[in-house]
Every structure is written in C-alpha cells, then in structure tokens.
Amino acid sequence: MSNLASESHFIGPMGSEFWQIQVSPEVVQHMAKRKMDWRVLGRRVLIDPISGVITWISPSGPHVGLAETTADIVKEACQFINCRVRSMRDMCWRRPEDPRNTSVEADASFYVGAKADQ
C-alpha cells in the first residue's frame, strides 16, 4: 500500500472523502497507548491493528442522509412486522485481542428481534 497523498485519498460516489494510510502495527499500538482521539481526522475512523491500515472518512451530506434513511427504513420495517429493534449506529466494535483505543464504527448497525432485548 502506498502512502502517497495522490494514492491515499479519494472521493466516493456520494461525495464523501476517504483517506487511507498504512503504518506498522507497532505504531497503531503506540498511538492507542497515547489515547489519541482519532476522530480529529474525520467523522469515521477505521483502524486495522493487525495490518496497520488506518482509514478515515469525512461523510458528505448525501452519505449522512442515506445512513439516516437506512435507519428509518429498518425501524419502519420492524414496526410493520412487530419486532423490536435497537439502533447501534455509533457503536464502536473491537475484538478482545485488538489494542485498546482501536475500533470500527458502522454507519448503520442494528439489533433486531430477540437480539434487541439482550
């Protein structure tokens, strides 16, 4: 993977800006220990602690709108079929073995039915 700016930055089809760099996994662990606030890079930050790939995203208006619309559709569908739903859209996910202060945040994530009650 190249860390050249021309190859590390692109604009998605909805206008969101994506950046991606790769550092050694040791650098990710070092930054996690320093408790860096990765969100200063962009609204969404994804860190792969194994490969050292760091991706950050600044969502466009249409991107944010689509995530919101997705949430509305899921909630309406669950109301229609009479099942419970719990939105987890800003939840950060990480595996137990990942370094502290690293995680992935989804645009739209939900627990549906029995899982929503847990």
Tell me the three-class secondary structure of the chain, residue by residue.
CCCCHHHHEEECCCCCEEEEEECCHHHHHHHHHCCCCHHHCCCEEEEECCCCEEEEEECCHHHHHHHHHHHHHHHHHHHHCCCCEEECCCCEECCCCCCCCCCEECCCCEEEHHHHHC
Residue 17: predicted pLDDT: 87
Residue 5: predicted pLDDT: 66
Residue 46: predicted pLDDT: 79
Residue 68: predicted pLDDT: 83
Question: CA distances (Å), 5 to each of 1, 29, 85, in order?
Answer: 12, 23, 41
Instruction: Output the tens digit of pLDDT for each of the chain's 118 residues.
Output: 666 767 788 888 888 888 888 999 888 888 878 877 777 777 778 788 888 888 888 888 887 888 788 888 888 998 899 998 887 766 666 677 776 666 665 666 777 888 887 7
Residue 92: predicted pLDDT: 64
